[in-house]
């Protein structure tokens, strides 16, 4: 796989930067999903407490 990038003319630092960008993107998405699930869970918990 890395050999493929070298044939495309990318430096290994470019590959590492690309990989880190992908990880940052994945981390951001998972954090956003966790925020959404927490927001969705809070009203359910409070309504259960009221009832």
Instruction: Specify if 14 maps to a domain.
Output: no
DSSP H helices, the chain, are 2-7, 12-50
Q: What is the pLDDT of residues 37-47, one digit of tens each?
A: 777 766 555 55
Round to whole Å and give the CA distance between 14 and 18. 6
Instruction: Specify if 4 maps to a domain.
Output: no
Instruction: Specify if 24 maps to a domain.
Output: yes
Mean pLDDT of all residues belonging to the chain: 75
- Residue 22 clears pLDDT 70, i.e. is over it: yes
Give the per-residue pLDDT at 49: 56
Instruction: Specify if 32 maps to a domain.
Output: yes
Place of tokens 């796989």: 1
Instruction: Specify if 3 maps to a domain.
Output: no
The structural domain count of the chain equals 1
Range of the domain at 30: 20-51
Instruction: Specify if 33 maps to a domain.
Output: yes
Instruction: Specify if 29 maps to a domain.
Output: yes
Place of tokens 């981390």: 27
């Amino acid at each position: 796989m890395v050999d493929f990038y070298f044939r495309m003319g990318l430096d290994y630092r470019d590959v590492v930067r690309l990989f880190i960008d992908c990880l940052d993107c994945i981390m951001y998405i998972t954090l956003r999903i966790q925020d959404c699930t927490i927001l969705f869970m809070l009203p359910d918990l409070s309504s259960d407490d009221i009832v």
